Structure 1
């Protein structure tokens, strides 16, 4: 079924959607505690899944793979909503609770290694700005102050890093992080 979905078969996509929607919705609601936000995240998740279908690997277990990708989407949604600090502890706990699955551990390890490999290919200053933003959770203002640069320069460097990493990670599981 996954191979048919990747080739653009809308019936296969609909079947994946129908089989997994309720479970994924329940999962998203249990983390976000906001049904409307969970529904938005999940709808965007399925839209992005369709758009990136050809670049996704064939998973061993569709359910585990969808949960893994949804976790990344939830983290991004929390970050974009700028409520990370409120939910950071919950998400860290979630990762700790749910990474005992060896399939999840393999996905996380693969994603992390691939991201770090490509991150190391960026110019040093852009890599530093990206690292401070995404791994140390510093704001643009904090990064600018620490590096003695303007906020606009930091924004430009983050934008450059994101664009380059998206190109480098095209077709990768790690592209769901950006």
Structure 2
């Protein structure tokens, strides 16, 4: 298998190789091709999902080098173990779940060797910022700040569920698989988070109206 470092990804300004556009877009077929040893299919999966995986990984770990290493480790394992992998209907949520587990394992290992770090938890500490939470233009900077403050006061699992639902567009079912929670728990997490956000927005609008 050739190196899949993100530094080797083609420049977006260049025309994509013919094989990238000719391969079928169907995830199940692409995955089966990869399982069969097709390196082009494998590379296409990597190139297609790298940026999204990197963004999600940064939310989980906030360490660029760690996230890059974990993505590299994940894809190396996938290639080595391709013969034993089962069929996959949707590749993106499968990779998210696998990366979440990889980062969790690596974080647990690092914390074990750094005695001052807290015990490992599978609830990642996602934090939002103005850069990745673009509030609609009709909201003032103060209103945007209020929403971001509320987002970052949500529980860790609520923040992750909101990210997966509204930033990556996953269904509740896929979020359930990625986070390892039952479906109703995921629905409850998102519902309670949205209630808090709506309350903050309403309060912000009331303050704006009466000032």
SS in 2 for 1:81: helix
TM-score (norm 1): 0.53
Deviation sequence 1:91-143 (CA, Å, 0-9, x none): 66266555972034357479xxxxxxxxxxxxxxxxxxxxxxxxxxxxxxxxx
1:90 aligns with 2:124: yes
In 2, the alpha carbon distance for the partners of 1:26 and 1:15 equals 18
Of structures 1 and 2, the larger Rg is shown by: 2
What's the CA shift for 1:42? 0.8
Task: Give the 5 Å matches for 1:112-127.
Answer: none
What is the CA deviation profile of residues 19-60 of structure 1, one whole-angstrom value per residue up to 9, with x for unaligned ones? Answer: 011111111112111111111111111101111222222122
Give the superposed CA RMSD: 2.7
> 1-side partners of 2:66 and 2:84: how far apart?
27
**For 1:74-95, what per-residue CA distance to the aligned partner results, in whole angstroms no more than 9, with x for missing partners?**
1111111115637654266266
Residue correspondences, number: 110
Unaligned runs of 5+ in 2: 1-29, 112-116, 126-155, 166-170, 183-211
Partner Cα distance (1:95, 1:51) in 2: 30
Q: How does 1:136-155 map to 2 (within 5 A)?
A: none
Label 1:32 to 1:58 Cα distance change in 2 as closer, same or farther (>3 A): same
Q: Does 1:101 align with 2:135?
A: no
User: Which structure 2 residues correspond to residues 1-178 of structure 1 after superposition, within 5 A?
Assistant: 1-82=30-111, 83=117, 85=119, 89-90=123-124, 93=157, 97=162, 98=164, 101-106=172-177, 108=180
Work out the CA distance in 2 between the residues paired with 1:32 and 1:50. Answer: 24
Which is bigger in relative contact order (C-alpha 8 A, separation at least 6)? 1
Greater helix content:
1
Matches of 2:79 and 2:65, distance apart in 1: 21
Any conservation in 1 of the 2:31–2:41 contact (CA below 8 Å)? yes
Gapped regions of structure 1 (runs ≥ 5): 111-178
- TM-score, with structure 2 as normaliser: 0.45
